[in-house]
Amino acid sequence: MKIGVVGASGFVGRAVCERLAAESRSVVPIVRSAAGLFNERVSGDIHGATNWTGLLDGIDVLVHAAARVHVMRERPDHALEAFRTINCDGTVNLARRAAEQGVRRFVFISTIKVNGEATSPGRPFQADDPPQPIAPYAVSKFEAECALRDVAAASLMEVVTIRPPLVYGRAARGNFQSMVRWVRRGVPLPLGRIDNNARSMVSIDNLVDLIITCIDHPKAAGETFLVSDGEDVSTASLLRRLGRVTGKAPRLLPVPGILLRAAAGLIGRSVEADRLLGNLQIDIEKTRTRLGWQPPVSLDEGLRRAVISA
């Protein structure tokens, strides 16, 4: 079996390629621009008119991990169009060409934000909940999911969708690495009272393990799966755990969450505040029962691996 990985030079795609190569499986990295990966194929920019001729030859399973992700401070009216061009139009064009080429399974990396931006306490997202995408990124991913179902219905190609939350690990960017820097530098953080929220995350190792499972598992076809480390954590607890693995206790100030939300609103940072103060819990029971899958790496071990290699 030959496995193509689109977005092979990115955080998730590169990790998938490394795991497949370590298992001596036949992997074809597909990248936007030359990245120096063994056996790579170069696609150029991904959009609704990308020419995939020759790039999918011989591929049996395609993992699509390329995407336009969050761009801070972008005008909403421009953002949705830009996200759609790559995340929806580009994905659908790729899937149609893959089906024409005889690719038998298409594994699509979506986002938990398709389910919504936040959860109520004790009511985690489930895989088959009605989607409630809000932000342009999530809307573009949801539109791609819908279109992929249509492609699958009109062809012999199976589609599997995975919706991860925040992915952390080696070479991760964004909020997680910001937290690691804050702890290492001893920056005073007004988050000592944020102990009552609960958020799900997933280590890169656990996400890759599920992707590999979905490449092969007969019961994955046509399904949508949620993924996490299987343990939720509050913001303050996460910072303390990062302190343990970095060897530097975080400087947490006991500021009430209501004051933090008010301050964030005044300076136009409400979205960032929600990610630190709110809940986003994920129920992975469907993933466990249907695929017989368990996260192989614990949250603490995932943090250790991420920080050691950061």
Q: What is the dihedral of CA 117, 211, 71, 196, to 10 degrees?
A: 40
Residue with tokens 């499986």: 25
CB atoms within 10 A of CB 33: 10
Q: Give the three-class secondary structure for 260.
A: helix
Confidence of residue 70 (pLDDT cuts 50, 70, 90): low
As a whole number, mean pLDDT of residues 252-267 equals 92
Establish whether 168 is a catalytic residue: no
Alpha carbons 20 and 22: distance in angstroms, whole number? 5
- With left for phi above 0 and alpha for psi between -120 and 50, is residue 223 left, alpha or beta? beta
As a whole number, mean pLDDT of residues 22-51 equals 95
Judge: domain 2-170+202-228+283-296, CATH 3.40.50.720.
yes
Q: Give the three-class secondary structure for 40.
A: coil
Which pLDDT belongs to residue 310?
55
Helix segments in the chain, DSSP class H: 11-22, 76-83, 91-100, 136-153, 175-185, 204-216, 235-246, 257-266, 270-277, 285-291, 299-309
Mean pLDDT for the chain overall? 94
pTM given for the model: 0.95
Which pLDDT belongs to residue 38?
92
Q: Which of 11, 106, 137, 142 is catalytic?
A: 137
As a whole number, mean pLDDT of residues 185-194 equals 95
As a whole number, mean pLDDT of residues 126-155 equals 96
As a whole number, mean pLDDT of residues 279-301 equals 97
* Contact in structure between 157 and 151 (CB atoms under 8 Å): yes
Confidence of residue 117 (pLDDT cuts 50, 70, 90): very high
Which pLDDT belongs to residue 309?
60
As a whole number, mean pLDDT of residues 47-53 equals 96
Alpha carbons 254 and 32: distance in angstroms, whole number? 46
Which pLDDT belongs to residue 148?
98
